Amino acid sequence: MSNLPLIIGHRGASAHAPENTLAAFQMAIDAGADGVEFDVQLAKDGVPVVIHDATLKRTGGRKDAVADLTSKELGKIDVGTWFNQKYPRRANAEFAQETVPTLAQVLRLLKSTDGLIYIELKAADTDYRDLAKAVCDVIRDSPPLPRIIVKSFKLAAIPEIRHHLPDVQTAALFAPQILDYLRRRKYIIAMAREFGAHQISLHHSLVTKKLTALSSQAGMPVTIWTAADPKWIKRCQKLGIRALITNDPARLKSVRDMKNK
């Protein structure tokens, strides 16, 4: 039976560990996830670090902006205690030791795995070129490079990535708000192709049978995010969706494997 859709841990196994931390990625690996997805932005010293928000307010309990701190400073800030406080039933004292990792640290952890690695560039108009170059400098000689897909909502970052690393896989990211600008979903395919993306990453609410058919015709694999309902397993299989990004990879992988027996 097919092992599709591939089950990808959103910011690691973020339903059970603090997002975008080494603990969350290790938990996703231990759960047998087919890959992980995480966010990258630049620290003050130009080093790509793995964190979603532009500030540390939510996960670090501080007002500092990520861009105002060096990677070494970020590597000393507790970004795990918030999870223990918010989810006491899933709390683990060791989570309080989790800090903001660098992209290089995460790739070292994933070196011995064989799953896909989705790197989302949290790019702004002012720094997407610098971020794209910095990420390429890190992944260029990284053993997992053949398994990496670099993606961004900032579509202009995609040709920058391809300029520095022509062979790396890229994906165009689309949120539901894209329909405020495009009259029809089919134009999503055209936009992705125009910016040179190899793949498409869609919010699950954007998925339709026609859109996935068009993406298949264009030779562009589709990944959806962020899915929690196990019903998406069957729908992904029916629509030919390659991968599903979820906060709870263990749960959805279990459902998929059960259906494929």
User: Hey, what are 43's tokens?
Assistant: 């620290």
Nearest to 39 by CA among 26, 57, 61, 24: 24
State the pLDDT at residue 183: 83
Query: Do strands 35-42 and 48-50 pair parallel, antiparallel, or not at all (unpaired)?
Result: antiparallel
Domain extents in the chain:
6-259
Which residues of the chain have a pLDDT value below 70?
A: 1-2
State the pLDDT at residue 261: 79
Contact 134, 40 (CB under 8 A): no
State the pLDDT at residue 157: 98
SS3 92: coil
Nearest to 150 by CA among 179, 126, 178, 128: 128
State the pLDDT at residue 52: 98
35-50 b/e (C-beta count within 10 Å ≥ 16 → b): bbbbbbbbbbeebbbb
State the pLDDT at residue 63: 96
Predicted TM-score (pTM) of the model is 0.97
State the CATH architecture for 6-259: Alpha-Beta Barrel (3.20)
Residue linked to tokens 């019903």: 231
